[in-house]
Amino acid sequence: MSSHPALPVVPSPAAPSGGASGSSVPQDPAAFVQLFTKAQRPLYLFLLGLTGRPQDAEELLQNTNLVIWSKSASFDPGTNFFAWACQIARYEVLQHRQRYHRDRLKFSEEFIDVVAQESIQQNDDLEHRRQALEACLQKLPSKDRELISRRYQPGISGKEVAAGLGRPQNAVYQSLGRIRRVLLECIQRRIAES
Amino acid sequence: MSTDFRFEIFPLLEALCEHSLTPAGRDRLEQLVIESPEARQLYVRYMQLHGTLTWDAALTDASQLVAFAERAGTQATTRPVRLRRWLVTSLGGLLAGALALLMVLWIGRTPELPSDPVISPNLANHPVLSAPNQNTDTTPLPTVALDVPMSSPTPSVMHPPNPAPAAVVAATVPMDDASVVSRINHLMRAKWSDAHVEPSLMAEDSEWLRRVYLDLLGHIPDSESVDRFLADGRRNKRSLLVQELMNHPDHARNLATIWSNLLVGRTTERPIDRAGLSKFLREQFRQNRPWTETVARLVSAEGDAREVGEANFLLAHLNNQAVPATAVTARIFLCRQVQCTQCHKHPDSSHGGTMSEFWELNSFFQQAEVVENRKYNPLTGRDEIVSRSLIDKPEGGPTHYEDLRGVMNVAYPRFAGQEINPDSTIKRRQELARLITTEGQRELAAALVNRTWAHFFGQGLVNPIDDMGPHSPCAHPELMEALTEAVVASNFDLVRLQKWIVSSQAYHLSSVATAQNASDEPVDGALPLFSRMYLKPLSAEQLFDSLLVATAADRAGASYWEQAEANRQAWLADFYSALENEENADATTFGGTYAQTLMMMNGDLVQRAISNAPGTVLNEIARTNADERTKIRSLSRAALGRDPRNQELVVFQSQLKHRREMPGAEPLGDVFWAYLNSTEFTVNH
């Protein structure tokens, strides 16, 4: 698996001469990068749950990564990286929410709070669920699989899929909803069986 | 999981994923997720599915992606911009970024790391970057020190002498209002889940509106405010209202009433200037002065009661060798019962509570003295007391007291382990004010938290409210700790404390118990879980002021302000009889008693309210041209802040039909009378 586009814009490495940047470097850089990297997808999913919109989640992941990076020295390697990162991410969401407070579709703080907790709790079997999803995608009827693939091309929305297929928007939404439900149930079943 | 529930949530989730969720749908989704654990779980899983599909699609091999895009063809106009961005970032920017990151990270240790871009292609397979995505860490949460400016400039408050236990992660988490509120919510939910209860549903707007008016302003909302709030479609209308109410003049007035009652009781017998004390408090609350300042001024006040309002607090309690002053100071500000230790040790003496401690505190009041200012009255030919002043006489040395065996002991002024210089030149009350607000500030903050919490929930975190200490179990120690911490860090900002509490989930819960939280019944002696709003009987002041808001009965009689205030005092006097005891505390005979009921039903005020005199609310409603149902609804909103239930409409309408045929008073008066005398009216729920 490769990494995600949402990696941070990192400050130029030109500055550090003579160990001047020593204070902002984590205690064990290699280990930190590893934790950082493997937390990218969980963090993205965490942020998506808090915002409901992939575009916001992407943007916030960038911001969160920058903060994680700038705070890397304060991370205590003996502790839970993901939980630490989630606190930063949650804070970024609240900040973001305040900046765009006029947006009528933002979630409430209370909602963000409950979902954040729930997401952290549900993070543990994320990888199992992802593998189950892969298997479940294979089992979809080819027509459904194609529709889902079209829908999840980067930057494509259901509306555009509908336009591309020349089908009514509502009908496409319904189909997508049905397929997602099938996938969700399939994942549940596989997790329960394993 | 019930089918109904899935039936409702799936369309909302689908709409969310397809960007077609309406604000109303979003509200409903929020409500479901907040209220139901199953919905919450489903929401997170659904979004994980949605997110994984989105994320993984972006990771598909670039050539595949391009091919796929070419096959799809039709989206040529919309796709390329974003697609290009993804491709560029994923292949160029990403790897360059990751490389730069690695370089910066490693630069200190491995300066020989080649910066040749030739390394890039291998990076995707770098063991570090392709590490399995698993998170099985169960190690404790570290703290995040985000650079959020604190409202208090005092550096010492950031590192209190007794740091919170490791469990309290909040200690260094940002102190903005949102974080404190979510901390409260988090701790509350953890408690509910530990205790296997589910919180009640969210209170309806009408229920919550009446509650927040009573708690913040001390009276119910008038019907105009009810109409406006219920019609308001903004989703943040509750927080907007809280802000509005906190700037309302009645907010400071309400706090002043509450604290005046605590500080000097309700009795008007004492020779003090109650109005002066009230005015001092009102100003302090209106300007939202730090609580430490208010306490310090009350404890160390000097001067003529007519000029220095805060002096009236101690003037009320300096009799009997300042024993009442000692006890009241500890009970009101620190929620500590020390008066029993005046004569014997506290049953649990591990937390102080010894005789010497009582007298050491008492010793701070040793210099305080009441001076009567007399003036010759030519009419009576005598010197008469015109006012009283609180002064400190320059006296030093210890306080003497007799213990149980009749042995005389001495006590020097000492508080929170700090002994002060007992010389006559040192003003002891000023020293006490200093110590309470510095050495004793955590205790002061905890007491403020407990009182404020109890004000809003009807139950303190520790009960009885004013008997805190290791012998009193705390309903939620972590929450108490977190709020105490926050109060200290906010520099004792009472308005913010109120805001945090009023914004918390628990404050928005309905008072109706469910099968899942029926066990949460503090009246039965259990520790309160706050999984629903407990009922609070209205105080005499709340009841009176609410009656006026609901009925405008005061407009029916002599309507100038002094007369109205005199009426208020006379009316209130009937509601409580002061039971004076050694500690100068008074108890009120109030709370749904028979006498109160009779007074409500037949009292002059209520009679005037339903007299249909011009200017009253009843009269205003009765004389409109609206139909009967609308009029009943207006009366219901005026009295209870909600719309009439169907059953009420049926009963009232059939009654009104009979009355219409009879001559006499306005029949709607009976409807109003029934509403005003309902238990619902006399309870804050």
Same domain? A94 vs A56:
yes
| Mean pLDDT of all residues in B444-457 | 96
Closest by CA position to B400, among listed B434, B437, B355, B436 = B355
Same domain? A116 vs A135:
no
B196: in domain: no
Q: Does A126 sit within 8 Å of B186, measured CB to CB?
A: no
Task: Give the per-residue pLDDT at B272.
Answer: 86
**Using the 8-state DSSP alphabet, how is residue B665 labeled?**
S
Give the residue numbers spanning the domain of B284. 268-439
Q: Does A4 sit within 8 Å of B144, measured CB to CB?
A: no
Which among A121, A139, A158 is the end of a domain? A121
* Position B367, amino acid: Q
Beta carbons of B540 and B572 less than 8 angstroms apart: yes
Q: Is the dihedral of CA A134, A140, A146, A147 positive or negative?
A: negative
Same domain? A91 vs A36:
yes
A68 sits in the region (left: phi over 0; alpha: psi -120 to 50; else beta) called alpha
Task: Give the per-residue pLDDT at B595.
Answer: 54
Q: How confident is the model at residue B135 (pLDDT cuts 50, 70, 90)?
A: very low
SS3 B683: strand
Residue B195, exposed/middle/buried by CB under 10 A (0-12, 13-18, 19+)? middle
On chain B, the residues whose CB falls within 8 A of the CB of A15 are none
Is pLDDT above 60 for B646?
Answer: yes
Task: Give the per-residue pLDDT at B519.
Answer: 86
Q: Cα-atom radius of gyration of chain B, to the nearest Å?
A: 32
Beta carbons of B63 and B90 less than 8 angstroms apart: no
Q: How confident is the model at residue B51 (pLDDT cuts 50, 70, 90)?
A: very high
B130: in domain: no
Mean pLDDT, consecutive 10-residue stretches, chain A (194 aa), reads: 39 36 63 85 93 88 88 86 92 83 72 92 87 89 87 78 81 89 90 80
Task: Give the per-residue pLDDT at B508.
Answer: 95
Query: Considering only alpha carbons, which residue of chain B is nearest residue A75?
Result: B142
Angstroms from B133 CA to nearest CA on chain A = 5
DSSP lists the bridge partners of residue B415 as B418
Same domain? A131 vs A152:
yes
Task: Give the per-residue pLDDT at A36.
Answer: 86
Q: How confident is the model at residue B111 (pLDDT cuts 50, 70, 90)?
A: very low
Residues 6+ away with beta carbon under 8 Å from B161: B442
Same domain? B419 vs B544:
no
Tens-digit pLDDT profile for residues B550-586? 988 766 554 555 666 676 667 666 655 443 443 444 4
Domain of A188: which CATH number?
A: 1.10.10.10
Report the C-alpha gap between B90 and B85 in whole angstroms. 8
Beta carbons of A73 and B131 less than 8 angstroms apart: no
Same domain? A135 vs A62:
no
Q: Which helix (H) or strand (E) holds A132?
A: helix A126-139
Which among B123, B151, B169 is the end of a domain? B123
A10: in domain: no
Beta carbons of B525 and B191 less than 8 angstroms apart: no
Give the residue numbers spanning the domain of A185. 126-193
End-to-end CA distance of chain A: 23
What is the number of domains present in chain B? Answer: 3
The ipTM is 0.87
On chain B, the residues whose CB falls within 8 A of the CB of A69 are 101
Q: Return the minimum-mean-pLDDT range out of B92-101, B357-366, B643-652.
A: B92-101
Angstroms from B498 CA to nearest CA on chain A = 17
Beta carbons of B199 and B40 less than 8 angstroms apart: no
Tens-digit pLDDT profile for residues B537-559? 888 788 888 888 898 876 655 45
| Mean confidence (pLDDT) of chain A | 80
Which among A92, A121, A150 is the end of a domain? A121
Same domain? B298 vs B430:
yes
A166: in domain: yes
* Closest Cβ–Cβ partner in B93, B128, B137 for A82: B137
Q: Does A5 sit within 8 Å of B55, measured CB to CB?
A: no
On chain B, the residues whose CB falls within 8 A of the CB of A83 are 137, 141-142
Q: Does B139 sit within 8 Å of A44, measured CB to CB?
A: no
Task: Give the per-residue pLDDT at B271.
Answer: 80
Same domain? A139 vs A64:
no
Q: How confident is the model at residue B253 (pLDDT cuts 50, 70, 90)?
A: very high
Q: Does A9 sit within 8 Å of B97, measured CB to CB?
A: yes
Reading the block at residue B153, the tokens are 């400039």
Same domain? A108 vs A150:
no
B512: in domain: no
* Position B67, amino acid: A
Closest by CA position to B277, among listed B293, B257, B251 = B257
Tens-digit pLDDT profile for residues B416-434? 888 999 999 999 999 999 9
A5: in domain: no
Question: For chain A, what's the residue count?
Answer: 194
Q: How confident is the model at residue B444 (pLDDT cuts 50, 70, 90)?
A: very high
Report the C-alpha gap between B413 and B370 in whole angstroms. 20
Angstroms from B148 CA to nearest CA on chain A = 11
Distances from the Cα of B268 to the Cαs of A33, A83, B319, in angstroms? Answer: 71, 57, 17
Mutate to test the interface with A, among B52, B201, B202, B239 (most CBs of A within 10 A): B52
Reading the block at residue B134, the tokens are 């698993």
Q: Does B23 sit within 8 Å of A105, measured CB to CB?
A: yes
Which among B74, B105, B123 is the end of a domain? B123
Same domain? A30 vs A116:
yes
On chain A, the residues whose CB falls within 8 A of the CB of B41 are 118, 122
A13: in domain: no
Of the two residues B404 and B419, the one the predictor is more confident about is B419
* Closest Cβ–Cβ partner in A33, A127, A173 for B128: A33
pTM summary value = 0.59
On chain A, the residues whose CB falls within 8 A of the CB of B202 are none
DSSP string, B254-288: HHHHHHHHHHH-S-S-SSS-HHHHHHHHHHHHHTT
pLDDT cut 90: percent of chain B above it: 40
A56: in domain: yes
| Mean confidence (pLDDT) of chain B | 77
A37: in domain: yes
Query: Considering only alpha carbons, which residue of chain A is nearest residue B18?
Result: A158
What is the number of domains present in chain A? Answer: 2
Other C-beta atoms lying within 10 Å of the C-beta of residue A118: 20
A3: in domain: no
B279: in domain: yes
Task: Give the per-residue pLDDT at B309.
Answer: 94
DSSP lists the bridge partners of residue B399 as B411
Q: Does A52 sit within 8 Å of B21, measured CB to CB?
A: yes
Dihedrals phi, psi of B589, to nearest 5 degrees: -85, 85
Same domain? B415 vs B284:
yes
Report the C-alpha gap between A119 and A115 in whole angstroms. 6
Reading the block at residue B275, the tokens are 């109005």
Beta carbons of A4 and B57 less than 8 angstroms apart: no
Place of tokens 């329960």: A192
Same domain? A80 vs A142:
no
Query: Considering only alpha carbons, which residue of chain A is nearest residue B14?
Result: A177
CA angle A77, A78, A80 (to 5 degrees): 85
Which among B387, B413, B439 is the end of a domain? B439
Q: Return the minimum-mean-pLDDT range out of B157-161, B181-185, B362-366, B643-647.
A: B157-161
Q: Which helix (H) or strand (E) holds B303?
A: strand B303-304
Residues 6+ away with beta carbon under 8 Å from B298: B263, B310, B313, B314
Which among A84, A101, A121 is the end of a domain? A121
| Mean pLDDT of all residues in B517-523 | 86
B371: in domain: yes
**Using the 8-state DSSP alphabet, how is residue A141 labeled?**
-
Task: Give the per-residue pLDDT at B637.
Answer: 94
Q: What is the 3-state secondary structure (H, E, C) of B202-254?
A: ECCHHHHHHHHHHHHHCCCCCHHHHHHHHHCCCCCHHHHHHHHHHCCHHHHHH
A30: in domain: yes
Same domain? A47 vs A102:
yes
Q: Is the dihedral of CA B163, B167, B172, B176 positive or negative?
A: negative
Task: Give the per-residue pLDDT at B574.
Answer: 62
Tens-digit pLDDT profile for residues A41-64? 899 999 999 999 888 888 889 889
Tens-digit pLDDT profile for residues B138-153? 233 222 222 223 333 3
Same domain? A104 vs A145:
no
Same domain? A40 vs A104:
yes
* Position B349, amino acid: S
